[in-house]
């Protein structure tokens, strides 16, 4: 059984840090740090960047696989968008987070390929992102050289969360919980964040 400090959580109005087993993550527990409900089956990485913009959370980890990432970047990361393939084969395109500045780019993930590492730079916003997959493919860096470096290894990214306005102000990553299982759902099943 894997144990980790999950987050600062708020249960019945009381805020505390919890070390819990990932198989015991309760559904619907409100995260005080991210002000969103935690769902069963995945965990959040640390969030990097600033506090500008509005919060967003795109995660279809339990019902699909991330197959493409669309990015706009110049001196920083202006926008990010995820595209998933459901287990039934339908593609689902998430909303664009950020603005229309910078140059457009995208990369595809092949069957069985997923992002295992993200390297980047962040200050008051996301300055740069570079993705590495389980097959050794790298995508990026997208953006410039400002901010401070960060690195998140040992991932299996299924979606993004963070803050955005005219650009991507902050970003973090959803990964399936190590002991989580998911069942294929029909095309009529939708999840929203």
CATH classification of the domain holding 150: 2.100.10.30
- CA-CA distance, 193 to 183, in Å (whole number)? 19
pLDDT digits (tens, 9 = 90+) for 93-134: 999 999 999 999 999 999 999 999 999 999 999 999 999 999
- Do 166 and 94 share a structural domain? yes
- Do 57 and 150 share a structural domain? yes
Domain count, the chain: 2
For residue 73, is pLDDT > 70? yes
Domain span at residue 120? 48-170
pLDDT digits (tens, 9 = 90+) for 18-65: 222 223 333 333 333 433 333 457 788 999 999 999 999 987 766 678
For residue 185, is pLDDT > 90? no
pLDDT for the residue numbered 88: 82
pLDDT digits (tens, 9 = 90+) for 143-162: 999 999 999 988 889 899 99
Tell me which long-range contacts 111-117 makes (C-beta under 8 A, separation of at least 24): 113/137, 114/65, 114/66, 114/156, 114/157, 114/158, 115/66, 115/155, 115/156, 115/157, 115/173, 116/153, 116/154, 116/155, 116/156, 116/157, 117/151, 117/152, 117/153, 117/154, 117/155
For residue 17, is pLDDT > 50? no
Within-domain flag for 188? no
Within-domain flag for 104? yes
Mean pLDDT computed over 80-90: 89
Q: Is the dihedral of CA 104, 140, 76, 95 positive or negative?
A: positive
What does the block give as tokens for 123? 């200050």
Q: Global pTM?
A: 0.72
Within-domain flag for 61? yes
- Do 150 and 95 share a structural domain? yes
pLDDT for the residue numbered 179: 54
Provide CB contacts within 8 A for 161, sequence distance 6+.
34, 36, 44, 47, 55, 56, 57, 58, 59, 171, 172, 173, 174, 193
Per-residue pLDDT band for 177 (boundaries 50, 70, 90) equals: confident
């Amino acid at each position: 059984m894997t144990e980790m400090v999950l987050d600062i959580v708020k249960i019945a109005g009381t805020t505390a840090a919890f070390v819990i087993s990932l198989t015991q993550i309760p559904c619907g527990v409100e995260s005080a740090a991210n002000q969103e409900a935690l769902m069963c089956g995945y965990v959040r990485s640390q969030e990097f960047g600033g506090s500008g913009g509005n919060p967003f959370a795109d995660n279809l980890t339990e019902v699909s696989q991330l197959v493409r990432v669309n990015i706009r970047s110049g001196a920083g990361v202006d926008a990010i968008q995820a595209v998933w393939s459901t287990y039934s084969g339908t593609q689902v395109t998430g909303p664009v987070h950020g603005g229309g500045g910078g140059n457009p780019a995208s990369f595809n993930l092949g069957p069985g390929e997923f992002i295992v590492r993200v390297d980047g730079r962040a200050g008051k916003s996301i300055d740069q992102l570079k993705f590495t997959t389980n097959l050794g493919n790298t995508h990026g860096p997208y953006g410039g050289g400002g901010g401070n470096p960060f690195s998140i290894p040992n991932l299996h990214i299924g979606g993004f969360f963070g803050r955005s306005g005219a650009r991507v102000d902050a970003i973090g990553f959803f990964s399936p919980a190590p002991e989580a299982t998911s069942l294929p759902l029909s095309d009529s099943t939708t999840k929203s964040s």
